[in-house]
Amino acid sequence: MNRKFTGRSAGELARSIENAVHAGILAPGESLPPIRQLAASARLSPVTVAAAYRRLHARGIVVGQGRRGTRVRPNPASPVLPVDQRPAPEGLFDLATGNPDPELLPSPALALNRIGGTPRLYGEPAVEPRLMAFAAGEFAADEVDATHMAVASGALDAIERLLREHLRPGDHIAVEDPSVPALLDLAGASGLNTVPIQMDGEGPRPDSVADALGRGVRGIVLTPRAQNPTGAAWSKPRAAELARLLKKRDDVLVIENDPAGPIAGAPYFTVCRDGRRWAIVRSVSKFLGPDLRVAVMVGDGLTIARVQGRQSLGVRWVSHLLQELTLALWSDPSSGRRLAQAADVYATRRAALVDALARQNVSVVAHSGFNMWVPVRDEHAAVQHLAACGWAVAPGERFRIRSGAAIRITTSSLPVNLADALAADVAVAVRPSTARAY
């Protein structure tokens, strides 16, 4: 590497390298010089260079890979929008971005006319009491203790706050593999080391969870249903087995992320009953709309108190207007019927593609949610083939840690009458011959 990094301190050197990453001079996955080599070229001590590398690791810019040295993360913390979050190319049917069907979301127009009549001032409760009462009832229906509750600006904001109050840079955290890219990005940007958990159709495999616990993880993030990207959902026996593994590990923070809630298309089972440190996060983004940045979290008293305490020092509260709008949309008398209908529509679309793929001898297991995970030999070739056929799907690279190559297909807006055509094109895309065509 002939690039020159400058600085007279660890902080200045770290900024020089970080600027190179953000400017595209250092590419994702590219190696940084060995510590002693950079120390010699920059005329700094190895201790100073090592400190700079530690700062970059804590910021989510680089990752240490043992004998392979230090490399730029595949998805370094950056203001640039990741590829998987960009709109699908014009002219392609969008099965890539993971959005709910806008036709199945409630319109906020009427609800907006019913809220916000009284200005809210400093000193009022951070959580709207009526939202707290309604959400507590929803959790109670799933046999979840909602004694302690906080509200965050979406699921990732909630998870970040929970991790920050219990983990520190350098700690190990267990995550599902594959998993939602934003969670992997968040862990990396927080300086956490991810330990992958292998998945099957019922969610995390117990043997893989046991292995992760044996490796000394300080936290674990699990998705009971509508897992992104696989569509996995826990069975009752699987939840019981996971609960048994976690029951005596009161040193591990257990976070359950329930991203789809009432439209998941699968029952809710939890492992968060007997643990000392736990939290359940339920975002409204999938069933009320992604722009409504509200997530309700419940957990043990200390964990929620820590989150609330840190919120009071910074953002203080999530806008009461957003909380009132969430309550108005979620608790509307017609809401239950509308959500049940949406759940049925999503389940029908998902099942239609699973069945169509089976007729093409492509076996996929997806029990809930919007997404399914289709193993392929070559992600790039499969994505390109499907794009040539008019479909935009997501390559699996950003979702994976160690799991094999795959593509993610989002079925939330896929008309049932197009399932057979898509399945036929997918069947060609997964064949080894497709990789030779590009």
Strand-pairing partners, residue 295, are 152, 283
The predicted structure's pLDDT at residue 112: 85
Average pLDDT score, the chain: 89
Choosing among 3.20.20.70, 3.30.470.20, 1.10.260.40, 3.90.1150.10, the CATH entry for 83-103+336-435 is 3.90.1150.10
pLDDT at 436 over 50: no
Is the separation of the CB atoms in 213 and 245 below 8 Å?
yes
Q: What is the rounded distance in angstroms from the CA atom of residue 429 to the CA atom of residue 436?
A: 11
The predicted structure's pLDDT at residue 86: 61
Q: What is the mean pLDDT of residues 320-329?
A: 93
pLDDT at 87 over 90: no
For residue range 383-410, list pLDDT tens digits in order.
Answer: 999 999 999 999 998 899 999 999 999 9
Any idea where the domains of the chain sit in the sequence?
10-72, 83-103+336-435, 111-331
> Model-level pTM?
0.84
* Per CATH, domain 111-331 is 3.40.640.10: yes
For residue range 6-31, list pLDDT tens digits in order.
Answer: 888 888 888 888 888 888 888 887 88
Name the nearest CA neighbour of 122 among 254, 256, 317.
317
The class that CATH gives domain 10-72 is mainly alpha
The predicted structure's pLDDT at residue 32: 87
The predicted structure's pLDDT at residue 65: 65
The predicted structure's pLDDT at residue 1: 45
Strand-pairing partners, residue 282, are 258, 296
One-letter identity of residue 294: V
- Tell how strand 295-299 and strand 278-283 pair up: antiparallel
DSSP code, position 227 = -
For residue range 196-217, list pLDDT tens digits in order.
Answer: 999 999 999 999 999 999 999 9
SS3 of residue 190 by DSSP? coil
Mean pLDDT is lowest, of 30-44, 68-82, 194-208, for 68-82
For residue range 152-195, list pLDDT tens digits in order.
Answer: 999 999 999 999 999 998 899 999 999 999 999 899 888 889 99
Is the separation of the CB atoms in 82 and 75 below 8 Å?
yes
pLDDT at 350 over 70: yes
